[in-house]
């Protein structure tokens, strides 16, 4: 917590995993397909359309550079 400087109940990485699960479920429901997920690369592996729904083209001037 910024105000009290106390450690939060949970960490950002567990929330990231939880949100990935929610997003994948949403994509699978929209496509009406079973999706396979590679946890290492965080990518859908068996469906191109599902993989494309994981991200969208960033608006010009607001790009985020990701280094791996």
| Segments making up each domain of the chain, as ranges | 12-52
Whether the Cβ atoms of residue 17 and residue 34 lie closer than 8 Å to each other: no
Pick from 16, 47, 54: which is nearest to 32 by CA?
Answer: 47
| Section 31-51 average pLDDT | 95
pTM: 0.71
Query: Across-strand partners of 44?
Result: 37
9 vs 29, more confident: 29
Confidence band (pLDDT; 50, 70, 90) for 65? confident
Rg of the chain over Cα atoms, rounded to whole angstroms, equals 16
pLDDT at 67 over 80: no
Distance CA 43, CA 52 (A): 10
Distance CA 32, CA 29 (A): 5
């Amino acid at each position: 917590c910024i105000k009290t400087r106390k450690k939060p109940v949970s960490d950002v990485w567990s929330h990231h995993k939880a949100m990935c699960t929610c997003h994948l479920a949403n994509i699978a429901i929209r496509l009406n397909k079973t999706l396979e997920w590679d946890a290492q690369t965080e990518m859908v592996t068996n469906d191109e359309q599902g993989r494309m729904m994981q991200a969208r083209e960033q608006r010009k001037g607001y790009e985020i550079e990701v280094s791996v």
